[in-house]
Amino acid sequence: MRTITLIVIHCSAVRTNQTSSVAQIDTWHRQRGFKLGIGYHYVVRRNGQIEQGRPEWMVGAHCKNHNKYSIGVCYEGGLNCLDLPADTRTPEQKAALRQLLTELHSRYPKAVIVGHHDLNPMKACPCIESVTKEYADLQP
């Protein structure tokens, strides 16, 4: 079993009129050369549905230099209608994301929940003002 020290939140970088399911992201990642397909472990859809990507036991491909010890969670969205980074999460997504993070926190209580940009400041992803503050109650 892998030792998980990080849960990394991402956005799929699509506008509100675009979709990004596990199947779509899997295709995009394979097109980018990810031999094992989707790099995220979970995708949270706008309607609040949580889709399983890679199994948790498998190393992800979502955050360079941090994949070995992290779980990658992606929410559908992250761009406004002008293609600018924005927190586009729906109320259903916010509730589902919190539910998923609560479950992950119970399995990995020592894992810190961060946004992709916290590990790579060159990224706007996940387009949430402060992941660590929003989920302060779930931090170790």
Positions annotated as catalytic residues are 10, 40, 116, 123, 125
Residues counted in the chain: 140
Structure tokens at 51: 């889709």
Dist. CA 30–CA 136, nearest whole Å: 34
Structure tokens at 90: 């729906």
Picking from 26, 4, 29, the residue whose alpha carbon sits closest to that of residue 113 is: 4
